[in-house]
Structure 1
Amino acid sequence: MIIVSSGVLLSLAFLYTKMQLARSYLYMIVAAVSFIGLGFSISGIHVLRQHSIHSDLFQEESMLHLRIKKSLKPNPYTHNYIAEVIPQNPNISSFSILLTEFHGDSLLPHLRVNDKVFLPKKIELVNAPKIPYQFNYREFLKHQHVFGKINFTRNEIVTIPTTTISWTQASVDLKHQIRDNLYQSGFQSKHIAFIESLTLGKKDLLSKDTYQDFSKAGVLHILAVSGLHVGLILLILLFFFQPISKTRAGKIFSSICIIGILWGYAFLVGFTPSIVRAVTMFSFLSFARISKRDGSSLSLLFLSAVVLLVYNPCFVYQIGFQLSYAAVFSIVTLYPILHKKIAFKYYLPKKAWSVFCITLTAQLGVFPLSLYYFHQVPGLFLISNLLLIPFLLLILGTCIVSIIWSSIAIIPAVFKNVFEIIIEVVLKFLHFIASQNKFIIEKVYFSPNMLVLSLIALLLFIFFVYQKKWTYLWLFSGCLFLMEITYVYETDTLRKQKRFYVFHEHQKSVVGFQRDGQLTLITSDSLRIKNYEGLQTQQHLKNLQIKNQKKNYYAVFGGSLFIIDSMGVYNVPEIAPIQYLMLVNSPKVNLEKVINVLQPQQIIADGSNYYTYIKRWRKTALKNKIPFHHTGKKGTFVMDY
């Protein structure tokens, strides 16, 4: 339906434009919306089709033939891979799963890309989030065409090492060699982590505290090797190739060299989605700049997006893809207008103004998406970007020189100390900015409706800047006003909402009551509040309380909840039949008799119970035709009242 509607709207808008014999911004808007709708629809259909094709392979254990496609970031307990499953049935196409190896013998080498693995296992679904609004890793992998998972130890598999070298593995080996060279030159681990993160996108050595400092300072994009890094490298290359770019032949040669070097850098990083889209985008933009067709930069930007989405439609779901193109789109459209507003005579003020304009326009483009995905506003992000980005060329250059120099010979102690001082100054500056907690606005409520309205408002503002028509300004103001109305209506609705939760926590029992914009968690154990921050933000909960006084009976939601735990002492009220029966802490009860006495309408078992008990209770509930909800399988039980 979406595909047909998009096609009809696009055709009507195109005919209208032809009848007017002029450029129509209506056509631009309809075209953008139509192609976005088509992209989401086609990618969604593709993911659904792939999942349905391979769902039969999830039913039983079999000898699986796998090929390692990609090595993911390890953690202290596991090493993860993306592996291609090669079905024995030639009529079924191959597909990818997540392989998780639990660490055993630390002396065994990790699996390499293109290694073949034989494993007698059953493919399982990736775990869905057990608490509402946690990160959904299953959906994230599904949009990368990864449809299942297997956990294993090394002694369970038969490995056939690869005899060929893939581009991916060659990139991994090269990055390992770079790390070894930096260690041999005497760099400390935290400085190597900074160099690798900034230049190679390799963050496994980066400490959690350092990562948080980048995030709270509003400069996390510096660690994501993407458009900013490629743009800086492009500027350096344009500077070096400028002497030979004055003739037509020299311009063609330099453009080929520049694009080749950019793709060489993409190889070094490992052809990650962020670097591929950045190099693709800047390859088109560099061609526009070199051929003196800057007016077509916006068209080439859209063309690069189309090329990437044709290659992989699921790129449209990636946050990095959306943020990258939103930032560049905002810079291309708004930077020239803003930069012309003030003209400086001297070099330093002129460059400072340019950096300010680029930073401001980029942040304006990504601001709606950042609010929607991250729900926070680093109050000092503009200051940190203005102070850091002008020196980023020096910092990035220092890191690149360190890598190249250490690959040729051991860096002398004097120069190594200078490099480390530069890195240390950056880290201390970011820590100082990040420690100013009063300037960080967190847990900002921003709904999908508000995101759509804010993006429409941004487009209308850009149209007003170029067209100077008051109609666009009035529509822009109307969108902002409608956003305020939407915010007031949605937050008021959430404040009036009353909900009862049975959360899933491993070996713990947690229930929650939401009312009057407040969530009360009742448990006898300690909790990680971070697990509930997503729920607190999305439900616009101002307060979150924890209480330890758990009762075995609650009269709520027009019915009643009765809790049976391992204590064996209960106060059964003599009122209407129990609506919900909750089993916690593995009580030794005869569920058949309990059902006969209490007549529950639904049975709930949380994460505090033994799995063998849960299996027995599920059979009993099925026998008595009573719905059974296990939070470990179905996630948090939610009931509005």
Structure 2
Amino acid sequence: MIATHKGEITIVVLLLPFMAGIGLGLNYPGTGAVALIIPLLALSLLFIALNIGYAKLGIYKKSWLGGLLIAPILLLAGWLVTVQHYQLNNTDHFSKTSAKYLVVHINSEPKVKGDIVRFTADVVQTIQKGKATSASGTLLIAIKDELATNLFYGEELLIPASYSPVEPPYNPGEFNYKRYLANKNVYHQVFLYPRQYHIIKAGQGNPVIAYALQTRQNLVKKLKANMQDTTAIAVASTLILGYKADLSNDVLQAYSKTGTIHILSVSGGHVAIIFVLLGWALSFRKGRSKGKVIKVLVIIVLIWSYALLTGFSPAVNRAALMISMVICGQAFVRYINSLNLLAFSAFVLLLYDPFLLMDVGFQLSYLAVAGLIVFQPIVYEWVEFKNRAANYLWTACSVSISAQVITFPLSAFYFHQFPLYFLISNLLIIVPAAVIMYTGLLLLVLPQIPYLSQWLGHILEHSILLMNKALAYIEQAPYASISKIWLTHAEHLLLYIIIIGLFYFIYDKKKTWLLKTSLIATLLFCISISYKKFNSDEARSITFLSLRKHTGIVFKNGGSGVVLTDLSDTDKTYQYTIQPGLDSMRVINYKVIHLADNIRLPYLIKQQNLLQFFDKRVLLLNQTAPAQSIPRQLDIDYLYISGNAFIDTGTVNDHTLIVDGSNSDKYIDKLKNITVHCKILKRNKSIIIASKP
């Protein structure tokens, strides 16, 4: 449903400058509020004055004047809201005062992964020399303690003020956890061990949220009581209740590679099912004047109750807001453009938390729904079926195609892959997903009834196992997905220009300039991809990776390479820190060798601790082969030091030292004092050195 005039989508047009202002606020959060308030007030007063004198001043002859003023007003408003929401601007932020202890309130549901419990908490007080001072700010807390699994939302803790800033990514392609937390307005973290924290009291959070989280925990326990398979329980908890703590990485990967990851995110589709169920259950009130109002109120209250139980995710909030407004619109027999509803719900959420604009789930959710509203009618008209069953199938296909196409650039940018069989996968899960939702909701709503509850749990469990089995088969099929897609910001935007331009041209073939724009964008995109590939194929480099307590060196020869490390390629550290770098550097054919292994290739020779990579020579120094001294006639470019290796300090001045993270801080300080040619990897970015063939 493409609007023919901007007047049809007024709220969409107004939302754009507001989002632009939020973007400016996120990039320049330190901007003074006064510098924004003064021009905002001035423009607002001018806008009001012009509206008051609309007829007298003949403003109707200059209709463009209102738009010229409202755009900067909304931009400044978005910027101001973001700056005020930025926690580091608060004068009482806990990081701005020295303290020995912090008093915090747990503001999220603690998540257990292995033996570590993680959660965010609001800092309410700092304590220094026995004096408590009010404070603000959010802190990420990780506790390695079995007893910490009993912590719950709203509990007040006393912890040491041993926090530190969140570290940035140090290696190529590594996930930017610092940016991820910053987009949630979190900038500091603390790691605690047993007896480093003390529970002061409970019940300090929002009682409604506390009740909802406790209810969700009880519902998860009910699923566990009526189901046997742990994977099925985890999927049911995630799909129905948005509880993802028990979901394994293997299951996530299977859904991600088949293009069905959206089903594991409680979103608009789930809320729509709730809406349909409630509409059917309350259909007996139809036709009564008072009953109509009661029905609307009951449905809205129950939809928001479900949203509360699922953790108030952006997707559910958006869907709950939209459906609430649709219900109200239908009750008053008013037509409301769906894009305006979508934009209004986004405006409300961003006004509440402007940092949601950078949330990946928020972005994907809104883009998917916008794609369904705009592109689905266009795709549906490509083929016409008279058969009812075929038409229903094609409708489902058009929905999947529209959502996947509009979210593809964003998914490729963030997750670096594209599922080729997404259409088959999404068609296969339609029936199982519906059965899972209806059966699961029935099981959770009804009291525990012997035989009936177990029977519902049996249906729910086997529906999930069947769906998982089908998706696993598709995941293992040849060419199931295109992986290792690494797009720049410019390429990401070019893809959207291509997609939007082509679809709009298909809708209105008179606008040939859209086709030309798409073709130009396609050309630029191809040039950019080709240029990156050419540079990658010609690149010869050594990358000394920054790893905690481990060694990692990547030798890149175009698309080939060697990884020298003490890690296994199945290790989590390898998967999170080394593998993304190989993918982003386009190293496709590579070998992983251990520090003690020897290798002889046309571009790399390793004999014991000596390596020759084209014109660069590296000597590895560690405790397994201590070097009492380094002969001056040995032409070495870099000394790679690990494990606090014992060396003759009198000979290191002639060489450049690369000191990895396995060395102690005391040892590193010693090396810094004896030579200026010392490059430290510990808590620093990886070092990339180009080589010549």
TM-score normalised to structure 2 length: 0.79
The residue identity in structure 2 corresponding to 1:39 is: I
Kept in 2, the 8 Å contact 1:460–1:476? The answer is yes
Q: Deviations over 1:338-373 (max 9, x none)?
A: 334545445433322221111111111111111111
Displacement of 1:291 in angstroms is 5.3
SS for the counterpart of 1:436 is: coil
Kept in 2, the 8 Å contact 1:234–1:258? The answer is yes
Distance in 2 of aligned mates of 1:91 and 1:152: 22
Match of 2:44 in 1: none
Distance in 1 of aligned mates of 2:634 and 2:14: 62
Match of 2:579 in 1: 533
Matched, 1:134 2:117: no
1:319-330 to 2 correspondence within 5 Å? Answer: 319-330=360-371
Distance in 2 of aligned mates of 1:459 and 1:251: 40
Distance in 1 of aligned mates of 2:683 and 2:503: 48
For 1:564, which of 584, 607, 621 is the aligned residue?
621
Match of 1:617 in 2: 671
Displacement of 1:627 in angstroms is 6.1
Kept in 2, the 8 Å contact 1:63–1:119? The answer is yes
Kept in 2, the 8 Å contact 1:384–1:433? The answer is yes
Matched, 1:451 2:508: no
Matched, 1:357 2:398: yes
Displacement of 1:333 in angstroms is 0.5
For 1:166, which of 195, 203, 207 is the aligned residue?
207
The residue identity in structure 2 corresponding to 1:399 is: G
Distance in 2 of aligned mates of 1:389 and 1:317: 30
The residue identity in structure 2 corresponding to 1:459 is: I
Match of 1:634 in 2: 684
Displacement of 1:503 in angstroms is 1.3
Kept in 1, the 8 Å contact 2:227–2:461? The answer is no
Displacement of 1:382 in angstroms is 0.7
1:274-313 to 2 correspondence within 5 Å? Answer: 274-288=315-329, 296-313=337-354
Matched, 1:74 2:112: yes
Kept in 1, the 8 Å contact 2:621–2:645? The answer is yes
Match of 2:22 in 1: 39
Q: 1:555 to 1:353 in 2, by over 3 A?
A: closer
Q: Deviations over 1:506-540 (max 9, x none)?
A: 44322222232333223466444534332223222
- State how many pairs are aligned: 610
Displacement of 1:587 in angstroms is 1.2
Q: Deviations over 1:38-94 (max 9, x none)?
A: 222213333896447688838966111211111232112111121112244999850
Q: 1:265 to 1:595 in 2, by over 3 A?
A: same
Q: Deviations over 1:588-607 (max 9, x none)?
A: 2353x2344x1x4x532113
Matched, 1:121 2:127: no
Kept in 2, the 8 Å contact 1:281–1:305? The answer is no
Displacement of 1:326 in angstroms is 0.9
More displaced stretch, 564-573 vs 285-294? 285-294
Displacement of 1:25 in angstroms is 12
Displacement of 1:239 in angstroms is 4.3
Q: Deviations over 1:217-255 (max 9, x none)?
A: 221110111122123323333444556455776555433
More displaced stretch, 64-73 vs 314-323? 64-73
1:77-476 to 2 correspondence within 5 Å? Answer: 77-88=115-126, 94-104=136-146, 106=147, 110-163=150-203, 166-185=207-226, 187-241=228-282, 244=285, 252-288=293-329, 296-407=337-448, 411-468=452-509, 469-476=511-518
SS for the counterpart of 2:244 is: coil
Match of 1:11 in 2: none
Matched, 1:582 2:650: no
Match of 2:39 in 1: none
SS for the counterpart of 2:446 is: helix
More displaced stretch, 160-169 vs 86-95? 86-95
Q: 1:300 to 1:248 in 2, by over 3 A?
A: farther
Give the aligned CA root-mean-square deviation in angstroms.
Answer: 3.4
Q: Deviations over 1:161-202 (max 9, x none)?
A: 224562332222112211332344454433322221110111
Kept in 1, the 8 Å contact 2:562–2:590? The answer is yes
SS for the counterpart of 1:133 is: coil
For 1:482, which of 524, 531, 538 is the aligned residue?
524
Kept in 1, the 8 Å contact 2:121–2:140? The answer is yes
SS for the counterpart of 1:64 is: strand
Kept in 1, the 8 Å contact 2:300–2:324? The answer is yes
Distance in 2 of aligned mates of 1:23 and 1:272: 30
Matched, 1:594 2:648: no
Kept in 1, the 8 Å contact 2:555–2:563? The answer is yes
Distance in 2 of aligned mates of 1:24 and 1:355: 31
The residue identity in structure 2 corresponding to 1:355 is: A
The residue identity in structure 1 corresponding to 2:116 is: T
Displacement of 1:406 in angstroms is 4.8
Distance in 1 of aligned mates of 2:428 and 2:227: 29
For 1:605, which of 649, 654, 659 is the aligned residue?
659
Structure 2 alignment gaps of length 5 or more: 31-82, 599-605
More displaced stretch, 405-414 vs 468-477? 405-414
The residue identity in structure 2 corresponding to 1:118 is: L
Displacement of 1:402 in angstroms is 1.7
SS for the counterpart of 2:28 is: helix
The residue identity in structure 2 corresponding to 1:540 is: R
Q: 1:59 to 1:311 in 2, by over 3 A?
A: closer
Distance in 2 of aligned mates of 1:342 and 1:583: 65
Kept in 1, the 8 Å contact 2:417–2:483? The answer is yes
The residue identity in structure 2 corresponding to 1:498 is: R
Distance in 2 of aligned mates of 1:246 and 1:497: 73
Percent of paired sites with the same residue: 23
Q: 1:411 to 1:390 in 2, by over 3 A?
A: closer
Structure 1 alignment gaps of length 5 or more: 1-20
Kept in 2, the 8 Å contact 1:241–1:254? The answer is yes
Kept in 2, the 8 Å contact 1:288–1:297? The answer is no
The residue identity in structure 1 corresponding to 2:580 is: G
The residue identity in structure 2 corresponding to 1:103 is: D
The residue identity in structure 1 corresponding to 2:189 is: K
SS for the counterpart of 1:522 is: strand
